[in-house]
């Protein structure tokens, strides 16, 4: 409610105006308008930045896993890196696909997630054909005359299915720090416009990875993760994390289990160096001078580190080492 001026305040204003102390033509001061960030109600954000960073870290690990597999499979080096992890609506992903593109459908082999919408995986045709050419013994050079609407042959589709089955089969390794998941290739869809497993307005997270070969052939491997599936996975991760971070202290129980663990102890007599030519000419009965006195101590190593010194002897008619000096205090 506006403040009501008293009679004395009104008289003071009139006097100021008549004397010229107040400029009646001066514009009134505008109050500072508060600035608000625009919010897109059509595309609300479902996942926090921390969740997207988690996915980015998971797929960074995944690129390292499949990088070595692809290099071994194709006998060629390649570079794979995560380019983006973006939350968007499914229609944005679907509209970017061409009719000639193919999609791999991947499911999670976990009881709690059996009924979830499958994951969709898309690999650029140029990179796919480069990889197939290498698998068939070619140089893997890209075909610059390739039509934009090129349709894969039956043989190429079969090799694509084998490739996706191999690459998706190891995706679970990247999730091991959070939960145990097993990913399984289901089938290939040759017409992405017919894939109606995800509603156009549903939230998805698209993980884009760039694959580059030495011949400058490069393209994108995109993994479309349904939002509902991710929500359930994150809920399971939070539940498991809470279970480990709350409740009673289990340290005594953990250390009790560790005390029952088996450790390998290596008794090291000595180390020496030989020329390759000397090693090549060694025969039965030859003597290798280890350059140590006969009463020199034996080293006891655990986990590659020296823990004790000892003396060689016999115990219960078996060779044994009597511990002398201790190097690591426990």
Residues 115-140 pLDDT 10s: 678 899 999 988 898 888 888 888 77
Summarize pLDDT for 18-29 with one digit per residue, the tens: 666 555 555 555
3-state helix, strand, coil in the chain (%, to 5): 35, 25, 40
Summarize pLDDT for 132-164 with one digit per residue, the tens: 888 888 877 766 677 777 888 999 999 999 999
d(CA 131, CA 184): 21
pLDDT at 216: 75
Give the residue ranges of DSSP H helices in the chain: 7-19, 49-74, 90-95, 125-135, 154-169, 227-245, 251-259, 276-280
pLDDT at 306: 81
Specify the DSSP class assigned to residue 283: -
- Residue carrying the six token digits 């009679």: 7
Query: Does this model's pTM top 0.75?
Result: no
Please, which residues have CB within 8 angstroms of residue 227's CB and are 6 or more apart in sequence?
46, 47, 87, 202, 203, 204, 205
d(CA 326, CA 306): 9
**pLDDT higher than threshold 60 for residue 75:** yes
**Domains of the chain (ranges, CATH numbers):** 49-245 (3.40.1550.10), 261-326 (2.30.330.10)
């Amino acid at each position: 409610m506006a403040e009501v001026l008293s009679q004395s305040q009104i008289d003071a204003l009139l006097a100021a105006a008549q004397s010229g102390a107040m400029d009646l033509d001066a514009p009134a001061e505008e109050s500072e308008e508060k600035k608000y960030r625009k919010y897109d109600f059509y595309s609300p954000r479902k996942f926090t930045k921390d969740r997207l960073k988690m996915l980015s870290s998971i797929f960074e690990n995944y690129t390292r896993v499949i990088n070595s597999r692809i290099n071994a499979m194709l006998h060629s080096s390649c570079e794979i890196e995560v380019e983006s992890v973006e939350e968007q609506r499914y229609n944005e992903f679907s509209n970017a696909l061409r009719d000639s593109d193919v999609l791999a459908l991947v499911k999670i082999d976990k009881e709690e997630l059996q009924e979830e919408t499958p994951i969709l995986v898309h690999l650029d045709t140029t990179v796919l054909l480069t990889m197939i050419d290498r698998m068939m013994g070619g140089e893997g050079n890209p075909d610059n005359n390739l039509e934009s609407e090129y349709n894969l042959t039956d043989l190429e589709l079969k090799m694509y299915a084998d490739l996706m089955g191999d690459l998706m089969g190891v995706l679970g390794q990247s999730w091991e720090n959070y939960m145990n998941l097993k990913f399984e290739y289901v089938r290939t869809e040759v017409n992405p416009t017919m894939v109606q497993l995800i509603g156009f307005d549903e939230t998805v997270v698209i993980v884009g990875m760039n694959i580059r070969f030495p011949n400058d052939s490069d393209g994108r491997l995109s993994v479309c993760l349904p939002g509902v599936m991710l929500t359930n996975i994150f809920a399971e991760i939070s539940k498991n994390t809470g279970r480990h971070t709350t409740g009673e202290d289990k340290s005594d129980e953990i250390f009790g289990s560790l005390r029952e663990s088996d450790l390998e102890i290596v008794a090291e007599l000595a180390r020496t160096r030989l020329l390759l030519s000397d090693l090549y000419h060694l025969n039965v009965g030859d003597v290798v001078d280890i350059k140590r006195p006969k009463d020199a101590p034996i080293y006891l190593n655990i986990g590659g580190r020296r823990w004790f010194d000892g003396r060689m002897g016999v115990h219960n008619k078996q060779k044994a080492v009597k511990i002398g000096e201790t190097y690591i205090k426990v």
